[in-house]
Amino acid sequence: MARSVKFVVAVSVLLGVLSLGFLEGRTLRRTSMPLNPARLRSGSYTVSTAANTGDSNVSAGDAADIQDVAPADIFETVLDHVRRDYVDPTGPDSKLSEGALSRMFASLDDPKTEYLSPPLRSALQQGLAGDFHGIGAALTVVKQKRDGVDYRLLEVVDAMPGSPADRAGLKPGDSISSVDNHWVIDYSVMVDIDRLTKSKASDADKEAEARKIAERFKSGYTLVKAMTALETGQGSPLQLVVDRPGAAAPIKVTLTTAETRVDPVEYKLIGKKVGYLRVHQFNARATEQFQQALASPGAIKGLVLDLRDNPGGQSADPHSGVNGYDSALALLARLTHGQVGMIARHPKDIQPIVVSGSRQIRVPVVVLVDQGTANVAEFVASALRAHGRAKIVGAKTFGDPVLQLFAVMKNGAGVELATAHLLDSQGAELSEGVRPDVTAPAGDAALNRALQIVQSGA
C-alpha cells in the first residue's frame, strides 16, 4: 500500500509539472477588470509595483485581508523571494516576467487569448499586414470535446495563395498533429494521470506507463512552440502530420518555410460590367485598395464580392496597419448603411454595430464564401444578407465569431486578447458559420454561378 501511495504521488507531481506545457501552449472568459484597449494600443499598459516591505509573512488573523492585496504587490513580493532565495541563478527578470505573463494568459483557458513572445508577435503582426512567414497559413486553436476529453487542436483557417502551405495542399479545417516528428500537445496530461491512477494494472506496469507518458509530453511541442515553428522563419524544411476531416488516415506533408506576400485585394471587370472584388484579407492595405477599386460606383451594374479563403482580421490601433475589424466595417459602409450587427464585449454589454458612408454601391451584390471564410469576413457576408443587399453563394463558412485585440508591448512582445463576440443582426453568434443561399462547388463553378445571379438582377 505504501508503494502504491508513493507511486500515485510521484506520478502526479512528475506529470503535473509536465502539464504546464499544455497550459503554456494554448492560444470568453473575462476578468472583472478588463484591459484598457487604448492603453494597450499605445504600448503603455504596464504594471506598477509598490516598494517591497520585506514582510511577506501573513498570519492566520490576516487571512481575511488577502483578497485586498493588489496583485502587483504579490507579484513583486514573489519576485523578490525568487531573486533572493532561489538556489540557482534565475537569469534576467525579463525571463521571469514573461513566464508569469504566459501562465497568466494560460490560466484564462481561452485559445483566443495569448501572450506572444517577440518573434511570434513580429511574425503575427507581419501576417496580419499581409506578409506571411513560415508555412504561410492562418492558424487558430480550436476547442473540441471528444469522449469527455477537452482537446485544443491547431487548425488551419486558410492557406495563403502561393504559400508553402498552399503548394503542399493544406486546406481549411486541417488540424496539424505533428511537427518534425514532435507531437503537438493537444490535451492536458491530467487526462492520462486520471486514466492511469484508475487503472487496475500492477504498480510496476503503472510506473512503466508513467515513464512513457512523461517522455511523450517531454518530447512534444506545446501549441506555442508549434505555432512558432510554423509561423516564423524561411528556408527551414518541416515535416507535418495533418488530420483532415473525412480522410481515412492522417496525411504526411513535407514543405519548406518561406516568405509569402499576399496582396489583400484583387479587382477587375467580368461579364457585362460586373465588378469582381476579391478580398483575401482585411487590413489597412485592403481598405485603401477596395476604396480605390470602388471609387466609381456608376461604372458597374453588379458586384461579386469574393471572400473565399479570407481568414478575417483583428482589432488593433488604426495606425498599426493590421486593423481588420475597421477594414471590414469600411467595406460594409460602401455597400449598405445602418445597423449591420451587434458586438458583445460582455454578456450584459451588447451594442449595435452601425455603419454610414457616402458614395454607396447600390448595384446587386453576390458574396462568395467557403470553409476558409472566417471571422470578420463571415460577419460581412452575414450583414449584407441581413440587409437584403446580397445573396451568398458557395459553402458553409468556418465559424469564428471571436473578435481579437492585437497589441504590441514595450518589450517587443505582444498580446492577442479575445475582446468581443460578433453577432448577427438578430443577436445570434456566428460560431456555426454562415450557410449560403446557393450551394456551389469550389473554383470557377461558384464564380460562374455568382455571375449568373448578379446579371439576372436577382
Fold equal for 1-27+111-262 and 263-456? no
pTM above 0.75, yes or no: yes
Per-residue confidence (pLDDT) for residue 16, from 0 to 100: 52
Closest to 128 measured CA to CA, from 281, 340, 344: 281
* Alpha carbons 44 and 40: distance in angstroms, whole number: 6
CATH superfamily for 1-27+111-262 is PDZ domain (2.30.42.10)
Per-residue confidence (pLDDT) for residue 80, from 0 to 100: 83
Q: What DSSP string runs through 274-341?
A: EEEEEES--SHHHHHHHHHHTS-GGG-SEEEEE-TT----BB--GGGS-BHHHHHHHHHHHH--EEEE
Per-residue confidence (pLDDT) for residue 100, from 0 to 100: 81
CATH number listed for the domain at residues 263-456: 3.90.226.10
Domain ranges (residues) in the chain: 1-27+111-262, 68-110, 263-456
Residue ranges of the chain with pLDDT lower than 70? 1-68, 358, 458
Per-residue confidence (pLDDT) for residue 106, from 0 to 100: 81
The CA-based dihedral angle spanning residues 124, 128, 328, 298, taken in that order and rounded to the nearest 10 degrees: 180
Per-residue confidence (pLDDT) for residue 327, from 0 to 100: 95
**Amino acid code (one letter) for 155:** E
Per-residue confidence (pLDDT) for residue 448, from 0 to 100: 94
